[in-house]
Chain A
Amino acid sequence: ETGVTQTPRHLVMGMTNKKSLKCEQHLGHNAMYWYKQSAKKPLELMFVYSLEERVENNSVPSRFSPECPNSSHLFLHLHTLQPEDSALYLCASSQDSTRYNEQFFGPGTRLTVL
């Protein structure tokens, strides 16, 4: 596997379910991100982890809970979500030492909350 991978690619869940999104990066990067992409809205940064430590939390509701056990893995735990949480959730990673420190994105998880 290369780049940034995300599983599952599609997820349908009820409002009372608990599920987790997984992101894995094979690039040796030291920072990882969760973004939310809703229809007709700009990408919204949710969480930033640098060296496995959370450095940014953009006022995200507590029903979204991130976890970064090591520099290669990032999880987003979901519970009691609302229909408006339906969106594409994108994971990204970056490395300070690269020329532009550009973020590399995974293919996303398409989440539907019923």
Chain B
Amino acid sequence: AQKITQTQPGMFVQEKEAVTLDCTYDTSDQSYGLFWYKQPSSGEMIFLIYQGSYDEQNATEGRYSLNFQKARKSANLVISASQLGDSAMYFCAMRDQGGSEKLVFGKGTKLTVNP
């Protein structure tokens, strides 16, 4: 069974600094996809970034980058130049790319950006 582990229940960062949110995963599949979502207090889950298991380069989307270490089964999210609006819950998720549409989510990390 697939499993996602986010070991940081809460993280604090100063505005304009970078922060890394940890995510490790467990799967026996060779082909899979990793996602990060942001959930503000409004409740909506917002897609941030995606990394495929066969992608050779780390994914980047604006201020978001994914530090993908396949051998260690980790997919940490790096947010550069933090903004107050980045304060939210962040969820790591994995999808089996064998055809299933199922996403497995971690418990999330609550990020607070301090001014």
Within 8 A of A (CB), among B14-63: 33, 35, 37, 42-47, 50, 52
Taking chain B's interface residues, is the majority helix, strand, or loop, or is none over half, making it mixed?
strand
Q: Are A110 and B43 in contact (CB under 8 A)?
A: yes
Is B103 among interface residues, defined by CB-CB distance under 8 A?
yes
Give CA–CA (A105, B52) in the complex, Å. 21
- Give min CB distance, A93 to chain B, whole Å: 11
Q: Evaluate whether A108 and B47 lie within 8 angstroms (CB atoms) in the complex, with A40-B107, A43-B105, A48-B102 already known.
A: no
Inter-subunit contact A88/B107 (CB<8 Å): no
Q: Say yes or no: is A53 at the interface (Cβ < 8 Å to chain B).
A: no
Q: Which of B90-111 contact A (CB under 8 A)?
A: 91, 93, 95, 100-108
Tally of contact residues, A, Cβ under 8 A: 26
- Contact A90 B43, CB 8 Å, known A45-B102, A102-B50: yes
CB pair B103–A107 under 8 Å, yes or no, is no
Rounded to whole angstroms, the CA-CA distance of A2 and B91 in the bound complex is: 23
Asked if A81 lies at the interface with its beta carbon under 8 angstroms from chain B, I say no
Interface check B4, CB cutoff 8 A: yes
